[in-house]
Amino acid sequence: MATDRKERIARNEASFRDLNESLEANVHRGQRQADFAGFVCECGDGDCDTTLRVALDAYAAVREDDRQFIVVPGHQLPDTEDVVDHGDGYLIVRKHDEVAEIVGDNSGQP
Protein backbone atom coordinates (compact mmCIF):
# COMPACT_ATOMS: atom_id res chain seq x y z
CA MET A 1 0.00 0.00 0.00
CA ALA A 2 1.42 3.35 -1.02
CA THR A 3 1.71 6.13 1.52
CA ASP A 4 0.05 9.50 0.93
CA ARG A 5 3.48 10.95 0.11
CA LYS A 6 4.23 8.30 -2.51
CA GLU A 7 0.79 8.75 -4.04
CA ARG A 8 1.29 12.54 -4.23
CA ILE A 9 4.69 12.07 -5.86
CA ALA A 10 3.23 9.63 -8.40
CA ARG A 11 0.41 12.04 -9.25
CA ASN A 12 2.88 14.92 -9.69
CA GLU A 13 5.02 12.82 -12.01
CA ALA A 14 2.00 11.74 -14.01
CA SER A 15 0.96 15.39 -14.41
CA PHE A 16 4.40 16.35 -15.72
CA ARG A 17 4.27 13.37 -18.09
CA ASP A 18 0.90 14.60 -19.40
CA LEU A 19 2.41 18.03 -20.05
CA ASN A 20 5.35 16.48 -21.91
CA GLU A 21 3.05 14.30 -23.99
CA SER A 22 1.16 17.44 -24.99
CA LEU A 23 4.43 19.14 -25.93
CA GLU A 24 5.42 16.12 -28.00
CA ALA A 25 2.08 16.00 -29.81
CA ASN A 26 1.61 19.72 -30.40
CA VAL A 27 4.94 21.52 -30.27
CA HIS A 28 7.46 18.91 -31.37
CA ARG A 29 5.36 17.16 -34.01
CA GLY A 30 6.91 17.03 -37.43
CA GLN A 31 10.45 17.02 -36.10
CA ARG A 32 12.78 14.15 -36.95
CA GLN A 33 13.01 11.45 -34.30
CA ALA A 34 16.73 12.10 -33.86
CA ASP A 35 16.08 15.80 -33.09
CA PHE A 36 16.39 17.00 -29.52
CA ALA A 37 13.42 18.71 -27.91
CA GLY A 38 12.75 20.43 -24.61
CA PHE A 39 10.73 18.64 -21.95
CA VAL A 40 10.01 19.37 -18.30
CA CYS A 41 11.54 17.24 -15.58
CA GLU A 42 8.99 14.60 -14.59
CA CYS A 43 10.12 14.37 -10.98
CA GLY A 44 7.75 14.21 -8.03
CA ASP A 45 8.41 17.80 -6.92
CA GLY A 46 5.34 19.79 -7.94
CA ASP A 47 7.40 23.00 -7.85
CA CYS A 48 10.15 21.76 -10.19
CA ASP A 49 10.41 23.77 -13.39
CA THR A 50 13.66 22.32 -14.72
CA THR A 51 13.75 21.58 -18.43
CA LEU A 52 15.90 19.03 -20.18
CA ARG A 53 16.69 18.17 -23.77
CA VAL A 54 15.94 14.66 -24.94
CA ALA A 55 16.05 13.12 -28.41
CA LEU A 56 12.49 12.52 -29.56
CA ASP A 57 13.16 8.83 -30.22
CA ALA A 58 14.57 8.40 -26.71
CA TYR A 59 11.54 10.18 -25.25
CA ALA A 60 9.22 7.89 -27.25
CA ALA A 61 11.03 4.84 -25.83
CA VAL A 62 10.47 6.09 -22.27
CA ARG A 63 6.75 6.54 -23.01
CA GLU A 64 6.38 2.86 -23.97
CA ASP A 65 6.13 2.07 -20.24
CA ASP A 66 3.72 4.23 -18.21
CA ARG A 67 5.80 3.60 -15.11
CA GLN A 68 8.86 5.31 -16.58
CA PHE A 69 9.69 9.00 -16.27
CA ILE A 70 12.53 11.31 -17.30
CA VAL A 71 14.13 13.33 -14.53
CA VAL A 72 17.14 15.53 -14.02
CA PRO A 73 19.97 13.74 -12.18
CA GLY A 74 19.48 14.29 -8.46
CA HIS A 75 15.68 14.46 -8.75
CA GLN A 76 15.20 10.69 -8.46
CA LEU A 77 13.49 9.39 -5.32
CA PRO A 78 14.87 5.94 -4.42
CA ASP A 79 12.02 5.13 -2.04
CA THR A 80 9.44 5.44 -4.86
CA GLU A 81 11.37 4.61 -8.04
CA ASP A 82 14.48 2.96 -9.46
CA VAL A 83 16.89 4.42 -12.01
CA VAL A 84 16.67 2.07 -14.99
CA ASP A 85 18.69 4.01 -17.59
CA HIS A 86 20.21 7.38 -18.32
CA GLY A 87 20.97 9.73 -21.16
CA ASP A 88 22.96 12.90 -21.61
CA GLY A 89 21.68 15.11 -18.80
CA TYR A 90 18.75 12.98 -17.68
CA LEU A 91 17.82 9.77 -15.89
CA ILE A 92 15.02 7.35 -16.66
CA VAL A 93 13.27 6.17 -13.51
CA ARG A 94 10.64 3.48 -13.12
CA LYS A 95 7.99 3.72 -10.40
CA HIS A 96 7.67 0.92 -7.86
CA ASP A 97 4.76 -1.54 -8.04
CA GLU A 98 2.86 0.10 -5.18
CA VAL A 99 2.01 3.18 -7.28
CA ALA A 100 1.68 1.50 -10.69
CA GLU A 101 -2.09 1.98 -10.67
CA ILE A 102 -1.73 5.74 -10.10
CA VAL A 103 0.64 6.35 -13.00
CA GLY A 104 -1.04 3.82 -15.30
CA ASP A 105 0.58 0.56 -16.21
CA ASN A 106 0.98 -0.36 -19.85
CA SER A 107 4.37 -1.88 -19.18
CA GLY A 108 3.30 -5.29 -20.40
CA GLN A 109 4.71 -6.75 -17.21
CA PRO A 110 2.65 -8.99 -14.92
State pLDDT tens for residues 23-42.
666 555 665 555 778 899 99
Dist. CA 90–CA 74, nearest whole Å: 9
Highest mean pLDDT pick, 15-19, 50-54, 99-103: 50-54
Digit-coded pLDDT (tens) for 91-103: 999 998 887 777 7
pTM of the model: 0.74
Neighbours of 80 (CB within 10 A): 20
pLDDT at position 96, please? 87
